[in-house]
Amino acid sequence: MSTIYHNPRCGTSRNTLARLEEAGHKVTVIEYLKTPLDKEGLRKLIADANLSVKDAVRAKESLYSELGLETATDEQLLEAMAAHPILMNRPFVITEKGTRLCRPKEIVEEIL
CATH fold for domain 1-32+90-112: Glutaredoxin (3.40.30)
pLDDT given at position 26: 97
How does DSSP assign 48-98, residue by residue?
A: HTT--HHHHB-TTSHHHHHTTGGG--HHHHHHHHHH-GGGB-S-EEEETTE
What is the average pLDDT across 24-46? 98
CA distance 54 to 69: 10
pLDDT given at position 59: 96
- Return mean pLDDT, the chain: 98
Q: How many residues make up the chain in this entry?
A: 112
Query: What is the residue extent of each domain of the chain?
Result: 1-32+90-112, 37-88
pLDDT given at position 73: 98
Cβ count near 68 (within 10 Å): 10
- Residues that are catalytic: 10
- Name which of 29, 32, 27 is nearest 42 in CA terms: 32
Kindly give the pairing relationship between strand 98-101 and strand 92-95: antiparallel
What is the average pLDDT across 18-26? 98
pLDDT given at position 97: 98
Contact residues for 37 (Cβ-Cβ < 8 A; gap 6+): 5, 45, 81, 82, 85, 88
Q: Model-level pTM greater than 0.85?
A: yes
Q: Report pLDDT digits (tens) over 46-93.
A: 999 999 999 999 999 999 999 999 999 999 999 999 999 999 999 999
Cβ count near 7 (within 10 Å): 20
